[in-house]
Amino acid sequence: HPPCEELLTAAEAAAALAENQALANDIEALGQDISVRVGSPCPHEQDHALIIVTYGSEAEREAIGRLLERREGFGVPVHLVRQ
């Protein structure tokens, strides 16, 4: 993910997720262990956030990557995290 100080505020990331809820739903539909949420990867910068996509397998990660390549995305950074 980008450096913490370059991330959006949590409110901006939440707005981007809300505006792109259909994309989030499509990503979550790719696998049982996939979830999409706003979160901060920076323990000391909680107001800096991005969209976090968690997944359970390499196949799920590949499916998420293929979907994001075909779609415009959220307009904010996305961080993929294996559970």
Looking at residue 74, its pLDDT comes to 92
Q: Mean of the pLDDT values across residues 28-49?
A: 92
Span 51-77, mean pLDDT?
A: 95
Alpha-carbon span 37 to 3, nearest angstrom: 19
> How does the average pLDDT of the chain come out, rounded?
94
**Residue-level pLDDT at 29:** 98
Distance CA 31, CA 13 (A): 23
Q: In this predicted structure, what is the pLDDT of residue 43?
A: 84
Residues 4-37 have pLDDT tens digits of: 989 999 999 999 999 999 999 999 999 999 999 9
- Compute the distance between CA of residue 59 and CA of residue 63 in angstroms, rounded to an integer: 6
Residues whose CB falls within 8 Å of the CB of residue 48, separated by 6 or more in sequence, listed in order:
4, 5, 7, 8, 9, 10, 40, 42
